[in-house]
Amino acid sequence: MLWLISAQLINGIAIGMIYALMALGLSIIKGLLNIPNFAHGALYALGAYVCYSVSSSGAPFALGLLAAFLAAGLAGLALDRLAIRPVGAGGYLPQLIVLFGAALIIEQVLLIGWGTIGLSYSPPPLLRGAFDLGFAVVPRYIAFASIFSALVISIVWLLIERTRFGAHVRAGIERPDTARVLGIDVDLLLSGGMMLGAGLAGGLALPLVGATSTMGGDMMGIAFVVLVIGGLGSLYGSVAAGILVGLVQSLMTIAAPAASTAIIYAVMIVILLFRPQGLFGER
Amino acid sequence: MPVVKSRREILLSAAAAAAFPIFPAWGQKAAGVTIGVITPTTGTFAFAGDLVARGASLALEKHGNSVIGNAVRLLIRDDEGKPASGVRRVQEAAISDGMRYFIGAYSSAVGLAESEIAQREKLLQFAAGGSEDFTGARCGRYTFQWSAHPYTAMRATLEYARKAFPQKKTIYTLTADYVFGHALLKYTKTVAAELGFELVGNDNHPFGERQYTQYLTKAIAAKPDILLMNTAGADAVTAIRQFANFGAQNIAVVGPWTLEVDQLAELAPEMRSGLILGQNYYPDVDTPANKEFVAAYTKKYNALPGYSSAYAYDATRAILLAMEKANTADVPDVVKALEQMSWDGVLGRMSIDQKTHQLIRPYFVVRCKPASDMRHPADFAELVARGEKPQPPELNECKQMPAL
């Protein structure tokens, strides 16, 4: 039993890092726009499709990831300029509706562009197979995806905490209007959030969940749970919550597998009962 | 100015309303027959919706778009793969469009919910899906089941696995946590015991799950010889994708009802290679009706047909043939005709088990090919076995078919 718990702990941390990356981008956008980005899932799916097209054309997987990163960023910029900004004066509700509509449009565009049949992509040969730890078997790609996510999150942390750019991000998240007045390009930061949490996460998830037009909806449920548990707008809260959700989901499989997804919603309810602002959020 | 009605007028209106049937438009539409195609074009089984509609449309064309002098039209609705949506679509179609027959659903959970409406409103339903309840505990006179019984499917698939892997003894199951998966798990236990396999573990996963590494970590830790996937649709595709990442070559993946031919393209060839899969239909089935169907389908859609299209084609044809046999489009008469007739279907000579409304039919087993053996992009697998063993009567829970 101890071996199984250890194996599930490793698996939980690995998938938790991927959840954390998704939620980090969502958290940045939530801070900048002050509304949840309902189009995040659709951009995540776009990232997966773009990564698939580039990688399966013979280009290296790394190039596919880069293309996914850029495509989600460009789509995010277009979304901001063409949809969010024009209704910005109307406040909270029109922006939500526009984002919701944009998600539906992007999903339909994906269906028209890539068809209704889902797509699969095997990781590059170097990342196929698994590490046999004796007590657990860890797929190389899962290990890569979690280490890569951890690296990206660390770089983002360094950028935010130690650079002038990071100061802009923090200012943008805390007071977007004031940051704009000071000449900080909040829209560019918004695009960065979409690049990270949607495009890159979508590309990274491709060998695990494939590319389907509805994959964004599947991801959004968990990403929002992570965001709420971590505390809305708390960048590091979303990282910690991502790992927590991965661990809970994985460990629950030992005791009650059928409840392994339901349990994360139960954990969210319990945390909100005792800390309505989430684990790392501020009132 | 408000119109004030007397009590007598209100009572007269109520009596008039009661005197008319629940579907007033039906009588007006007697010159035409509407067949509903209630299938998912969104959700977990989104891939199937258009394919089902294609099959039904082809059957109609083969029949000249008419039956016993009536024009026939198809009414296509999205059930979203959700029972509540399916029930709503059936009710709306019956009330607004005079639909009395329907093909659906693709998912058992949706089909069983719709079956309740079919019995209540006397609508003929030709269903697909893997739950045994269609022809068991929740059997109904107005519902017919085209797909194989899960016992037949499990028996055919594990019989082949027994033959192909005589040295493999232990099975770990991954089961979808709803009626479909439960039925497969029940018969896994029955058939595994019959064939000398040992079940070493099972995990139920929620419907729509997209993260399987935690289940697979547990399954691989149990060191089974065979991983039996009692799950289907996008869930199965995702689970197999993630299993491929583990590189566990010593564990054979067997799916009694996991991926139909329609979905095999969703997996990369290296993920698919070596999978042993039960199939309700495969384009290589060698019958005259299937050859005709494959030729017509390929000509029209420039692709090979799969289970979704074959089911809709055959079920729609059976309904039209039953109308011709009954010489009427009245549902109870068509139900009786369908119960008694046999026809040349895509799977061979077909008929209905009157006691359960299960289509008497074979089930197929395929072994997926490596990319190097594929002759064309849709040459996914080789037909390796066929089984027809019906569910033992003592295991069936359909005690008596209700009267019409």
pLDDT digits (tens, 9 = 90+) for A227-248: 899 988 787 888 899 999 999 9
Q: What average pLDDT does range A88-102 have in this prediction? A: 86
CA B160 to chain centre: 22
B204 at interface of A, judged by CB pairs closer than 8 A: yes
* Residue contact B220–A15, C-beta within 8 A: no
Cα gap B294→B307, rounded to integer Å: 12
d(CA B203, CA B221): 13
| Residues B391 and B151 sit within 8 Å (Cβ to Cβ) | yes
Can you say how many angstroms the Cα of residue A60 is from the centroid of all Cα atoms in its chain? 22
Task: Name the one residue in this structure whose structure tokens are 């460990």.
Answer: A251
Which pLDDT value is given to residue B7? 56
Quick check: A227 and A38 in contact, CB under 8 A? no
B213 interaction partners in chain A (CB closer than 8 Å): 11, 14-15, 139, 142, 208, 250
Respond yes or no on whether ipTM tops 0.95: no
Contact by Cβ (8 Å): A224, A44:
no
Question: Which residue of chain B is at minimal alpha-carbon distance from A56?
Answer: B268
Torsion of CA A20, A24, A30, A33, to 10 degrees: -160
Q: Under a CB-based contact definition with an 8 Å cutoff, are residues B141 and B404 in contact?
A: yes
SS3 A137: strand
Per the domain annotation, does A11 fall within a domain? yes
Cis peptide before B105 (omega within 30 of 0): yes
Q: Where are the alpha helices (DSSP H) in chain A?
A: 2-33, 40-56, 61-79, 92-114, 140-162, 164-174, 176-181, 186-194, 201-209, 215-230, 235-255, 262-274
CA distances from A277 to A21, A25, A38 (A): 21, 19, 20
Chain-chain contact of B205 with A260 (C-beta, under 8 angstroms): yes
pLDDT at A88 over 80: no
Phi, psi (deg, nearest 5) at residue B207: -60, 135
∠ at Cα B227 (B224, B229), nearest 5°? 155
Q: Write out chain A residues lying below 8 Å of B42, CB-based.
A: 214
Q: Which of A194, A190, A277 is nearest to A228 (CA)?
A: A277
Percent of chain A with pLDDT over 90: 30
Q: Which domain holds residue A26?
A: 2-274
State the DSSP code for B146.
-
Determine whether A110 is exposed, middle or buried from the number of CB atoms within 10 Å of its CB (0-12, 13-18, 19+).
buried
Whether pLDDT at A265 is above 70: yes
Give B296: exposed, middle or buried? Use CB within 10 Å, 0-12, 13-18, 19+.
middle
pLDDT by residue for chain B (404 residues), tens only, comes to 344 455 555 555 555 544 444 444 444 444 699 999 999 988 777 788 999 999 999 999 999 999 999 999 999 999 999 999 999 999 999 999 999 999 988 888 899 999 999 999 999 999 998 889 999 999 999 999 999 999 999 999 999 999 999 999 999 999 999 888 999 999 999 999 999 999 999 999 998 888 898 899 899 989 999 999 999 988 999 999 999 999 898 999 999 999 999 889 999 999 999 999 999 999 999 999 999 999 999 999 999 999 999 999 999 999 999 999 999 999 999 999 999 999 999 999 999 999 999 999 999 999 999 999 999 989 999 999 999 999 999 999 998 888 88
3-state secondary structure (DSSP) of residue B257: coil
Q: How is residue A118 written in tokens?
A: 């889902």
Q: Taking CB atoms and an 8 Å limit, are A260 and B244 in contact across chains? A: no
Is A96 within the bounds of a domain?
yes
Examine residue A280 and state whether it is found in any structural domain, yes or no: no
Interface membership of A215 toward B (CB under 8 Å) = yes
- pTM comes to 0.83
Quick check: helix, strand or coil at residue B79?
Answer: coil
How many structural domains comprise chain A? Answer: 1
Least confident window among A51-65, A174-188, B199-213: A174-188
Contact B211, A15 (CB under 8 A): yes
- State which residue of chain B sits closest to A216, comparing Cα positions: B210
Q: Does A120 touch chain B (CB under 8 A)?
A: yes
| A67 inside domain | yes
Structure-token pair, residue B307: 């289970």
N-terminal to C-terminal alpha carbon distance within chain B:
49
Residue A279 lies in a domain: no
Average pLDDT on A153-181 reads: 79
Work out the end-to-end distance of chain A between its first and last CA atoms, rounded to an integer number of angstroms. Answer: 41
One-letter amino acid of A171? A
- The answer to whether B111 and B128 are in contact (CB under 8 A) is yes
Nearest-by-Cβ selection for B265 from A3, A117, A250: A117
Q: What is the pLDDT of residue B29?
A: 44
Q: Which segments within B147-267 are labelled E, that is strand?
A: 170-176, 198-205, 226-230, 252-255
The listed range with the strongest mean pLDDT (A59-73, A131-145, B33-47) is A59-73
**A62 occurs within a structural domain:** yes
Please indicate whether, in this complex, the C-beta atoms of A219 and B210 are within 8 angstroms of each other.
yes
Beta bridge partners of B278: B365
Cβ A218–B208 below 8 Å, yes or no? yes
d(CA A37, CA A26): 7
Put simply, the answer to whether A137 touches B50 (Cβ < 8 Å) is: no
Domains of chain B: 14-148+286-361 (3.40.50.2300), 150-279+362-393 (3.40.50.2300)
Closest CA to A22 of A37, A6, A5: A37
**Residue carrying the six token digits 């000249």:** B64
Is residue B282 within 8 Å of residue B369, measured between CB atoms?
no
pLDDT at A90 over 70: yes
Q: Which of B250, B242, B306, B251 is closest to B271 using CA atoms?
A: B242
CB A54 within 8 A of CB A63: yes
The C-alpha atoms of residue A70 and residue A92 are separated, in whole angstroms, by 27
- Would residue A281 count as lying in a domain? no
pLDDT band at residue A116 using 50, 70 and 90 as cut-offs: confident
- The confidence score (pLDDT) of residue B22 equals 43
Q: For testing the chain A interface, which of B42, B202, B245 should be mutated: the one with the most A CBs within 10 Å? A: B245
Cβ(A280)–Cβ(A226) below 8 Å: no
Q: Any chain B CB within 8 A of the CB of A4?
A: yes
CATH code of the domain covering residue A37? 1.10.3470
B218:A253 CB<8 A? yes
> Shortest CA distance to B309 belongs to which of B49, B63, B101, B126?
B49
Q: Per residue in B382-396, is it b (16+ CB within 10 Å) or e — as a string? A: eeebebeebbeeeeb
- Which pLDDT score, from 0 to 100, does residue B237 have? 94
- CA-based diameter of chain A, in Å? 59
Please name the helix (run of DSSP H) or strand (run of DSSP E) that holds residue B158, with its range, or none: helix B150-164
Integer Cα distance of A6 and A247 in angstroms: 11
- The answer to the question of residue A235 being in a domain is yes
Residues of A with CB below 8 A from B106's CB?
none
Contact indicator for B106, B362 with CB cutoff of 8 Å: no
Q: How far apart are CA A259 and CA A249, in angstroms?
A: 9
Count the residues in chain B: 404
Cα–Cα distances in angstroms (integers) from residue A153 to residues A23, A34, A67, in the given order: 11, 22, 19
